[in-house]
Amino acid sequence: MGAVATVREDLAAARRRDPAATDDLSLLLTSPGLHAIWTYRLAHQMWERGATLPARVIAQGARSITGVEIHPGATIGRRFFIDHGMGVVIGETAEVGDDVMLYHGVTLGGRSMEPVKRHPTVEDGVTIGAGARVIGPVVLGQGSQIGANAVVVKDVPALATAVGVPAQVRTGAAHPQEQVDPAIWI
C-alpha cells in the first residue's frame, strides 16, 4: 500500500473513532496521534534497513513534538489510532495489530533488560483506555478492551475486558464495552 493510500486509510480510521474529528484537513494539521504514527512508519522503515541511529533520532524528534514515544523497532499494523496522544509510550518489541485504538497516557512497556521479546502483543481490534499500563510480553487477545488506568501484567483473552490494578479479566459479553461503564475508556 502506498503512502497516500495509507494516509487516507488512517484519516478514515480516525474519523470512525473520534467524534470530534470534523474533517480530514483538521486531522492532517492537528492530530498528534496521526503525526506520531506517520513519523513512526518512516523511522520503522529506516530501522528495518539497519539505519538505527537516524531512526531513533527521528523517533525522538516526533516524541518532542507529539508527546508520543514509539520505538522504531516496534511493529504496528494498519488503521492504528491514538486519541489525544500525549504520554503514550510503545516499546521496542511491542507488536500491535490492525484496527487498534489507544487513548492518552497508555504504556506498552517492558519489564526485562534482556534482549528478548519484552513488550506486549496487542492483537487486532483492541481498545486500550487512558492511562492503562500493559507491561511485559503479555498478549491482549483480539477485540479485547482494557479499561482506563488498568495495569495489565497477564494475558487477556479475545473479546474480554480487563479493568483494575492489577487488572482483572471479565469475559462472556458479545460486546466487551457493554460489560463495563463506558466512562472508563476516557
Return the pLDDT at 150.
97
Mean pLDDT of 134-147: 97
Among all chains, which residue has been given the C-alpha cell 507491561? 135
Handedness of CA 155, 157, 158, 164 (dihedral sign): negative
Return the pLDDT at 186.
45
Name the domain count of the chain: 1
C-alpha cell at 23: 474533517
> 62 is in which domain, residue-wise?
3-185
CA distance 163 to 139: 15
Decide which of 181 and 164 is more confident.
Answer: 164
Packed helices 3-17 and 32-48: angle between N→C axes, nearest 10 degrees: 140
Tell me what percent of the residues of the chain surpass a pLDDT of 70. Answer: 92
Tell me what percent of the residues of the chain surpass a pLDDT of 90. Answer: 75
Mean pLDDT of 107-135: 94
| Angle value at C-alpha 40, between 9 and 59, nearest 5 degrees | 155
CA distance 120 to 128: 12
Say whether pTM exceeds 0.95: no
Residue 76 is part of a domain; what is its CATH number?
2.160.10.10
Relative to beta strand 168-170, strand 121-122 is unpaired
- For 68, residues 6+ apart whose C-beta sits below 8 A from its C-beta are 32, 33, 36, 62, 82, 85, 86, 87, 88
- With b meaning 16 or more CB within 10 Å and e meaning fewer, what string describes 96-129? bbebbbbbbbbbbbbeeeeeeebbbbbbbbbbbb
Return the pLDDT at 177.
47
Decide which of 111 and 94 is more confident.
Answer: 94
Mean pLDDT, the chain, rounded, equals 90
Relative to beta strand 127-128, strand 145-146 is parallel
